């Protein structure tokens, strides 16, 4: 493992925006992320049984054709098409048979038929098969009606996949069907990117660990279990970095340790420009920070930085904003870093079941779910309302401009599953 080639780290100014950038529209922010990030993980070869959900690091080609030989698609009798006439006829059977994995030895004599079973390689001379239900037989000959189509009930060699054809492209995430295709074409292992290791750190003096004793002025850390869970669902490796207090030196130590263990660091809280926003202050000190003021609700601002070569996304502290930014910005970024390339979530366009007057100037995401084909939204838009995140099954995306929505107005809906959740 030690001699594995590592891609170069991202540069410190990787996320810098041009001077004078004010509010960055969501689409521009995504375009910038897409332009700046590339795979940071190295490559490994894994056996098929460990390849599910991994990201392919190179095109996969068929090592052999599928099927490798012409074979029978049914249980029946094989013959030469040239021997078949129109109307009733009989053909004597030769001794022996062709079964899957037990081929017929020799070649079929002209004017004869041979017993063949599903999946059996066609004996030499056989080009057409008749279904056993369509013949009568006494064990020595078969009687049936012609005509038959040339090649009836047979499968051609390579009709599924030719040898050497690209069966799976680089950057694809391996599915269960892909495992079947790879196995069928001769693969026992696949070359994949190493799993992206994504660290999750919560920041804030007010945070207590879930289930611990909490002072009345403390709240439980809700973001960490949520974001760690999201990373696991995306197919990456979550790394729990714990909670850091609002203390610059301690936070620095947390980030130093994180940079050694992770390919990407996601923090939540402390990302704005307030007195206790130590994350943005620290990244600013090292000159590797860009505060992207993104025209999004909920969610601004998003701190993007590079800590000792490791990219860092500073998510907002509010749990709703933290999840929205994880799905809208961090998820596609992770895909790029992990070698998956760019994957835009697939939206549904559905009628609204709600009323809302949206002001222009920023994109909005509402906690939503589909009922009877219509998008319902949570009763409150407060970004501290975690119950709404749990109520929701996805997000409604409202465009940057103004919009008056009444029941029936078409809206864009992303089920959580569209992001890989």
Return residues touching Mg ion (CB under 5 A): 204, 269-270
Q: ∠ CA(63), CA(46), CA(336), 5° rounding?
A: 100
From the CB of 251, what's the least distance to ligand AMP, in Å?
12
From the CB of 196, what's the least distance to ligand AMP, in Å?
22
* End-to-end alpha carbon distance in the chain: 31
From the CB of 300, what's the least distance to ligand AMP, in Å?
11
Residue in the block written with tokens 């004010």: 22
Q: What is the DSSP letter of 28?
A: H
Residue 50 · residue 313 · CB < 8 Å: no
Is 206 among the residues that bind ligand AMP (CB under 6 A)? yes
310 binds, among ligand AMP, Mg ion, none (CB under 5 to 8 A by kind): none
Applying CB under 6 A, the span of 166-174, 218-226, 255-263, 403-411 interacting with ligand AMP comes to: 218-226
Provide the sign of the torsion angle of the four alpha carbons 315, 316, 317, 320, taken in this order: negative
Determine the longest span between alpha carbons in the chain, in angstroms.
Answer: 95
> 404: which residues sit within 8 A by CB, 6+ positions away?
356, 357, 358
Is 298 among the residues that bind ligand AMP (CB under 6 A)? no
One residue of 317, 339, 345, 388 binding ligand AMP per CB under 6 A: 317
One residue of 110, 180, 183, 219 binding ligand AMP per CB under 6 A: 219
Determine the length of the chain. 421
Binding marks (x or -) toward ligand AMP, 165..204, rule CB under 6 A?
-------------------------------------x-x
From the CB of 398, what's the least distance to Mg ion, in Å?
28
Provide the sign of the torsion angle of the four alpha carbons 385, 390, 391, 397, taken in this order: positive
Rounded Cα gap, residues 404 and 250, in angstroms:
47
Q: Which helix (H) or strand (E) holds 176?
A: helix 176-184
Is 223 among the residues that bind ligand AMP (CB under 6 A)? yes
100 binds, among Mg ion, ligand AMP, none (CB under 5 to 8 A by kind): none
Is 268 among the residues that bind ligand AMP (CB under 6 A)? yes
Is 267 among the residues that bind ligand AMP (CB under 6 A)? no
Q: Which residues bind to ligand AMP, rule: CB under 6 A?
A: 202, 204, 206-207, 219, 221-224, 268-272, 316-319
């Amino acid at each position: 493992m030690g001699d594995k080639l590592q891609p170069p780290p991202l540069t410190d100014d990787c996320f810098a925006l041009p001077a004078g950038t004010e509010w960055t529209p969501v689409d521009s922010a995504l375009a910038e992320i897409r332009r700046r990030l590339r795979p940071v993980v190295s490559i490994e070869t894994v056996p098929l049984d460990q390849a599910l959900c991994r990201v392919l690091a190179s095109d996969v080609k068929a090592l052999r054709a599928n099927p490798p030989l012409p074979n029978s698609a049914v249980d029946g009798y094989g013959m030469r098409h040239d021997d078949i006439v129109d109307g009733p006829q009989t053909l004597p059977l030769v001794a022996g048979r062709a079964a899957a994995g037990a081929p017929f030895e020799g070649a079929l004599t002209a004017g004869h038929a041979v017993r063949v079973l599903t999946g059996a390689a066609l004996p030499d001379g056989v080009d057409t098969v008749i279904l056993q239900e369509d013949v009568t037989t006494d064990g020595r000959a078969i009687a049936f009606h012609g005509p038959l189509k040339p090649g009836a009930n047979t499968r051609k060699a390579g009709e599924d996949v030719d040898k050497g054809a690209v069966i799976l492209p680089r950057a694809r995430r391996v599915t269960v069907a892909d495992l079947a295709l790879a196995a069928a074409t001769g693969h026992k292992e696949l070359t994949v990117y190493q799993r992206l290791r994504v660290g999750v750190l919560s920041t804030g003096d007010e945070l207590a660990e879930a289930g611990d004793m909490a002072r009345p002025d403390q709240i439980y850390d809700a973001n960490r279990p949520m974001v760690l869970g999201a990373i696991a669902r995306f197919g990456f490796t979550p790394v729990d970095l714990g909670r850091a207090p609002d203390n610059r030196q301690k936070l620095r130590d947390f980030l130093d340790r994180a940079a050694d263990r992770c390919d990407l660091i996601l923090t939540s809280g402390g990302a704005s420009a307030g007195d206790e926003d130590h994350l943005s202050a620290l990244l600013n000190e090292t000159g590797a920070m860009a505060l992207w003021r993104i025209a999004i609700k909920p969610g601004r601002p998003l701190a993007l930085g590079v800590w000792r070569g490791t990219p860092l996304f500073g998510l907002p502290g509010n749990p709703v904003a933290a999840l929205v930014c994880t799905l809208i910005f961090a998820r596609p970024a992770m895909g790029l870093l992990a070698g998956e390339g760019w994957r835009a979530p697939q939206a549904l366009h559905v009628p609204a079941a709600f009323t809302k007057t949206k002001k222009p100037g920023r994109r909005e995401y509402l906690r939503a779910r589909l009922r009877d084909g219509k998008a319902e939204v949570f009763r409150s838009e407060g970004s501290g309302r975690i119950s709404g995140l749990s109520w929701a099954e996805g997000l409604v995306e409202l465009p940057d401009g103004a919009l008056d929505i009444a029941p029936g107005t078409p809206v864009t809906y992303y089920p959580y599953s569209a992001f890989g959740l």
